Structure 1
Amino acid sequence: MRRPRVRKPRRGLRDDRGVSILEFVGFLPILLVVGMAAVQLGLIGYGINQAGSGARAAARVASQDGSGAGDAAGQAAVSGWLNPVVSAAEGPDLTTATVSVTVPSVIPLFDDVSMSRQATMPTDD
């Protein structure tokens, strides 16, 4: 007596193995660019915050002291890797300090981002 033959399932021409890895590999560069853009936006926000804090510190010290200590206070209030440039000008009634920072670019082929913030305080007599 002969056994009935069991047919093995054949793989057709439309085999889907490996397609998901190809889709992932194709989408990976887009995910990396979106992630780096998010990091870049976070760094820009941090730079704006640091420039504002440095400008307030420089204006506060310059309005009270008047001997040029405002520039040092502004430098101390900002993270050093942002390369802050501080200028505090004391007037008869108001003291204005400006802090400029440079945020390095995370995304290749883009330039660094420069920004500045000002703060004004009343001059103490």
Structure 2
Amino acid sequence: MRGPWREERGRDDSGQVAVEFVGMLPLILLTLVLLWQCVLIGYTYTLAGNAADEAARAYAVGDSCGEAALRHLDGAWRSGAASDCRRADGMAQARVSIRVPVLFPGAISFPFTVDGEAAAVWEGDER
């Protein structure tokens, strides 16, 4: 027996949810990819800041700046990293630049970098 909510012509809406899901699937996937890319950009900022902080600490006591910065980066992130340290006004200042990956670290990168900067009080010898 058919209820009053169905048409008597034999048409029903079975499969409609599947059709709508297939139509929305590209938009859902695009949204997930964009969210993942935003997470990677944020993580790159975190890594650059941490690497700069470690490089500034190491440089402040007379150690190598570049080695300290790269020591705190994983292999995929290390390939596009550059560090620079200098001493100014009694402070050891470090700057680390990391390229932002596209979807997966180590594959391809955007043509811009994320910079992390940090400073620590100079504790090395007075030169």
- TM class, shorter-length: 0.7 to 0.9
Corresponding residue of 2:71: 76
Q: Which runs of 4+ in 1 moved over 6 A?
A: none
Corresponding residue of 1:120: 119
Q: C-alpha separation between the residues in 1 aligned to 2:52 and 2:73?
A: 9
Q: Identity over the aligned pairs, expressed in percent?
A: 28
Corresponding residue of 1:96: 93
**Which amino acid in the other structure matches residue 116 of structure 2?**
R
* SS in structure 2 at match of 1:41: helix
With structure 2 as the length reference, what TM-score do the two structures score? 0.76
* SS in structure 2 at match of 1:86: strand
Give unmatched runs, 5+ long, in structure 2: 1-6
8 A Cα contact 1:58 1:71, kept in partner = yes
* Among 35, 39, 44, the residue aligned to 1:38: 35
Q: C-alpha separation between the residues in 1 aligned to 2:23 and 2:33?
A: 17
Report the CA distance between 1:38 and its aligned residue: 1.6
8 A Cα contact 1:52 1:119, kept in partner = yes
Q: C-alpha separation between the residues in 1 aligned to 2:100 and 2:76?
A: 8
RMSD, aligned α-carbons: 2.2
Q: C-alpha separation between the residues in 2 aligned to 1:37 and 1:86?
A: 29
Report the CA distance between 1:90 and its aligned residue: 2.3
Write 1 or 2 for the structure with the bigger share of strand.
2
With structure 1 as the length reference, what TM-score do the two structures score? 0.77
8 A Cα contact 1:53 1:78, kept in partner = no
**Which amino acid in the other structure matches residue 65 of structure 1?**
G
Report the CA distance between 1:18 and its aligned residue: 2.4
8 A Cα contact 1:50 1:79, kept in partner = no
